[in-house]
A and B are shown apart, each in its own frame.
Chain A
Amino acid sequence: MKILVTAKRVEDAESKIRVNPQGTGIVPEGLKYKINPFDEIAVEEGLRLVAKHGGEVVVVSIGGKEVQEQLRHALAMGAHKAVWVNHAGALDQLAIAALLAKVVEAEKPDLAILGKQSIDDDQNQVGQYLAEFLGWGQATFASKVESLESDAEKGKHPGVMLSADGKAVVVVREVDNGLATVECQMPAVVTTDLRLNLPRYASLPGIMKAKSKPIQELTPAGLGVDVTPKVVIQKMVPPPARKAGIKVPDVATLVDKLKNEAKVV
Chain B
Amino acid sequence: MRAVRASTNPLLSDRDVAFLLYEVHDAPGLLELPAFAEHSRETFDLFLTSVRRLAREALFPTYRAMDAEPPSFREGRIRVHPAMRSLYPQLVELGLLNATRAREVGGQQLPLTVFSLASAYLMAANLSAYGWLGLTSGAAHLLEAFGSPELKDTFMARMYRGEWTGTMALTEPQAGSSLADVQTRASAAADGTWRLSGTKIFISGGDNDFAENVVHMTLARIEGAPAGTRGLSLFAVPRLRPEEGRLVDNDVQVAGAIHKIGYRGLPSLVLSYGERGDCRGWLVGPPHRGLSLMFQMMNEARIMVGLNGVATASVAYHEALAYAQERTQGRTLTERDATAPQVPLLQHADVRRMLLRQKAIVEGGLSLLVATSRLADLATHGDTPADRERAALLLELLTPVAKTFPAEKGFEANALAVQVHGGYGYSSEYPVEAWLRDQKLNSIHEGTSGIQSLDLLGRKVMAGSGAALRVFQEEVGRTLARARRAGVEAAWCDALQRSVDEVVALTHELGMKLMEGDADGVLRHSAHYLELFSLVAVGWQWLAQACAARDALARGDADTGFYEGKLCAAQYWVHTELSRVPALVALCRSSEDSYAKMKPEWF
Contacts and interface: CB of A to CB of B under 8 A. Distances in A.
A148 B108 contact: no
B518 interface: no
B50 A208 contact: no
Interface residues of B, number: 27
A72 interface: yes
A147 interface: yes
Interface string A5-44: 0000000010000000000000001101010011000000
A29 B93 CA distance: 34
Interface string A30-66: 1010100110000000000000000000000000000
Interface stretch (B1-9, B173-181, B365-373, B455-463): B1-9
A67 B40 CA distance: 17
Interface in A64-83: 69, 72-73, 76
Interface stretch (B94-102, B321-329, B546-554): B94-102
B432 to A, nearest CB: 23
Contact of A69 (B42, B54, B95): B42
Nearest to A151: B86
A208 B559 CA distance: 31
Contact of B558 (A29, A148, A194, A195): A29
Given A37-B2, A201-B54, A30 B95 contact: no
Nearest to A200: B93
Contacts of A203: 50, 93-95
B46 A207 contact: yes
B394 interface: no
Interface in B25-43: 38, 40, 42-43
Contacts of B90: 201
A205 B43 contact: no
A204 B47 contact: yes
A38 B1 CA distance: 9
A193 to B, nearest CB: 11
A198 interface: yes
A194 B95 CA distance: 27
Contacts of A73: 46, 49
B3 A201 contact: no
Contacts of B110: 204
A201 B96 CA distance: 12
Interface in B527-551: none
B478 interface: no
A162 interface: no
B40 to A, nearest CB: 8
Contact of A204 (B2, B40, B99, B558): B99
B53 interface: yes
A151 B47 CA distance: 25
Interface string A92-131: 0000000000000000000000000001000000000000
A211 interface: yes
Nearest to B562: A30
A207 B43 contact: yes
A208 B96 CA distance: 13
Given A151-B86, A208-B108, A211-B43, A201 B94 contact: yes
What 3 pairs across the A-B complex have the smallest Cβ distances? A204-B95, A37-B1, A201-B50
20 contacts: A13-B1, A29-B559, A30-B559, A37-B1, A37-B2, A73-B49, A148-B4, A194-B1, A200-B93, A201-B90, A201-B94, A202-B49, A203-B93, A203-B95, A204-B50, A204-B96, A205-B108, A207-B47, A208-B38, A211-B40
